[in-house]
Amino acid sequence: MLRPRAFVLLAVLAVALSGSSCAKPATQTGAKAGSYFDNTGRDDVLAGGVKMIPISTPKGTFHVWTKRTGNNPRIKVLLLHGGPGATHECFEAFDSYFPGSGIEYYYYDQLGSWYSDQPKDSSLWDLPRFVEEVEQVRQALHLTHEDFYLFGQSWGGLLAMEYALKYQQNLKGLIVSNMMASAPAYGEYAEKVLMPQMDPNVLAEIKRIDAAKDFGNPRYMGLLIPNHYEKHFLRMPAAEWPDGVQRMFKHLNNDVYVPMQGPSELGVGGSLATWDRSADLGKIAVPTLVIGARYDTMDPAYMEKMAKQVQNGRYLFCPKGSHLAMYDDQQTYFTGLTRFIRDVDEGKF
């Protein structure tokens, strides 16, 4: 799950621009270099790959933002961001790796997120409705079981698991990044493993603020950022976090985040507090990559077990990474991710 409060984080962090490190492009996967930028027949060329997709909900029709990069008839990856209520901006590091591997991919801001419509009706922030939203996006983008890879990170990983459990017949591959299959297990890991790593006095003050629900207190994030987030969310000084990550927090919609994740930063609250799909992982038959990291807010050992519980899984461990291992263990992360996609595409998985 996405942890920090956007409006407090901005008061604490110094805004810094830092680009993602670039790797040597990987071998082209299923798309020749010349054809990768072929836009023939595409209806999104005028807008540079952007398409606003209408989403039908019980409260009317709204629009969500998507943006395509590349062209590959066999590999199309839809990226589900974290939060809930965050943005695709956290994924900008993909631009340094996926094009060089010939992977067609889609940024997508879920309903309520910055680039998409932001209705005020809280009844829309419901997990089954988000699953149906993803399905409508899939249909609008013409993704099928012959080419459709669903990637989800954090909350996006939760959403990806839910989608797979209902619609896996539409998938060619599934990637669950930095997300456990149980919110209670995630909370237990934070309580028993991560919190004891903090200075006891710092933890006690954080808990006092948490108990008082004084989440707007600058002291709250002032304690959490150096003592927790720089250790388990993104392992670099917060002022040096990549610009896309900075903008993601700036654009975080707390009207979505709080009802689902809850206001507390020390455990899961809101409507997701009891979410648990650990008993259902064995129903997922499509090729599945689970990504964990040593310093993650999520238990890496638990995520390794997830990869064994699905019918056709692989585990990618990032030994230097945290919750955003795509940045702090970038080479390991993208090498393993692109290899999984390539192996599935070539029938080697």
Q: Which two tokens stand for residue 103?
A: 């992977």
d(CA 19, CA 21): 6
> Do residues 230 and 239 touch, judged by C-beta distance below 8 A?
no
Place of tokens 């238990």: 299
| Residue 95 is among the residues annotated as catalytic for this protein | no
In 3-state terms, what secondary structure has residue 77? Answer: strand
In which order are the strands placed within the sheet that holds 76-80?
50-57, 60-69, 104-109, 76-80, 148-153, 173-177, 288-293, 313-318
Which member of 296, 299, 328, 329 is catalytic? 296
Closest CA to 110 of 223, 225, 238, 252: 252
Q: Which two tokens stand for residue 165?
A: 């459990």
Which member of 116, 154, 182, 322 is catalytic? 154
Q: Which two tokens stand for residue 292?
A: 């964990």
Counting DSSP H helices and E strands in the chain, the numbers are 13, 8
Question: What is the CA angle 144-148-153, rounded to 5?
Answer: 145
- Cα–Cα distance list, 57 to 132, 199, 318 (Å): 9, 46, 38
Partners of 313 in the beta sheet? Answer: 288
Which member of 299, 323, 328, 329 is catalytic? 323
Closest CA to 164 of 280, 76, 270: 280
| Residue 296 is among the residues annotated as catalytic for this protein | yes
| Residue 177 is among the residues annotated as catalytic for this protein | no
Alpha helices for 212-284 (secondary structure H): 218-224, 230-232, 243-250, 254-261
Give catalytic residue positions. 154, 296, 323
